[in-house]
Amino acid sequence: MTNFEWEQIEKEAEKKKTTVVITVVLLLVFFFVFYKYEMLSSKREPIIKEKIMEEKNIKKTQNVIEKKENIYTVKIGPFNDPMLVADFLDKTGMDKIKGIYKSGGSYYLNIGRINNMDKALLKKDEFIEKGFPAIIEKFDPNIDYDPTILSEIDEIKAKKELNEKESTQEEFVPEFTAEDQIDAQKKEGWTIQVAAADSIKSATELKNKLRFTGIEYVIVNEPPYYKVQIGMFSTREEALEYSKKLDMNIIPGVYVKKVKR
């Protein structure tokens, strides 16, 4: 073989050698990159799972909080006399109720822990139909209930029963009975108006609430309103003087008005 031929053979061998080296290097680079990718993926997966679990727990906690916020109670009152509370307990058979407290000189009772607004409305309407003032409120676990009030009521009831045995007790007669006021409304004079409701239901609820102040109110239908009023007086001064006896902490307001027939 000539020198030229040997040179060609050596060049071909060098090319093959270079090709093999490049191929090996590329394979090594590929495997290195693949290895790194797998390592990074395995590190990210637990983090992603942890974040998903954390989000699920947050959602679960939020759902629990929302459920707690959607608990309602039926608030009965105000009663300005413990005997009126006793009357309510006797008529409803709730002598062992724990949700009783005093606020602003009046007594209130919270009935039930209800997680459905429709059920709470039905319960409220039941009490209103029986003649008791009732509203719906969000259940508040922070209210300080006073269990001693029931003991006080029992003592008062016992004293009252004893007094009734010893002497005949006169039944309370309001200065203005509902019948007297209805008759008086047919004449001219002055009356005290405490509210004007747009429905008979709202007016009746207010009347029931005010009934426990020991004063009888009447509802007068003067379209488009149902007006809750008390008394019939011959002069405006007499009406104003009587209005001072009303409990301004309970009634919405006082408006002395002329009644013309």
Domain range summary for the chain, segments of one domain joined by +: 72-149, 178-259
Quickly tell me which residue has 């209103």 as its tokens.
128
Q: Supply the pTM of this predicted model.
A: 0.40
Both tokens of 211, joined, read 């009934």
Please state, in angstroms and rounded to a whole number, the distance separating the CA atoms of residues 121 and 123.
Answer: 5
Architecture of domain 72-149: 2-Layer Sandwich (3.30)
Q: Dump the DSSP string for 159-186.
A: HHHHHHHHSPPPPP--SS-HHHHHHHTT
Residue 91 is which amino acid?
A: K
Homologous superfamily assigned to 178-259? Sporulation related repeat (3.30.70.1070)
Nearest Cα residue to 128 out of 72, 205, 200: 205
All residues at 6 or more sequence positions from 256 whose CB lies less than 8 Å from its CB, including other chains: 190, 191, 192, 193, 236, 239, 240, 243
CA distance 134 to 109: 10
Mean pLDDT by 10 residues, the chain (261 residues): 65 75 79 68 54 60 55 88 82 74 86 87 88 87 81 78 59 57 71 88 83 74 86 85 75 78 56
Do the domains 72-149 and 178-259 sit in the same CATH topology, yes or no? yes
Helices (H), the chain: 3-69, 82-92, 117-129, 148-166, 178-184, 200-211, 236-243
CA atoms within 13 A on the CB side of 225: 8
pLDDT for position 229 = 85
Amino acid 4: pLDDT: 60
CA distance 41 to 200: 70
Residue 216's pLDDT is what? 74
pLDDT value of position 24: 77
Are 91 and 236 in contact by the 8 Å Cβ rule? The answer is no
The residue behind tokens 């008394």 is 231
What is the structure's pLDDT at 21? 75
Among candidate residues 131, 117, 138, the one with its CA nearest the CA of residue 206: 131
**Beta carbons within 8 Å of 116's beta carbon, 6+ residues apart:** 72
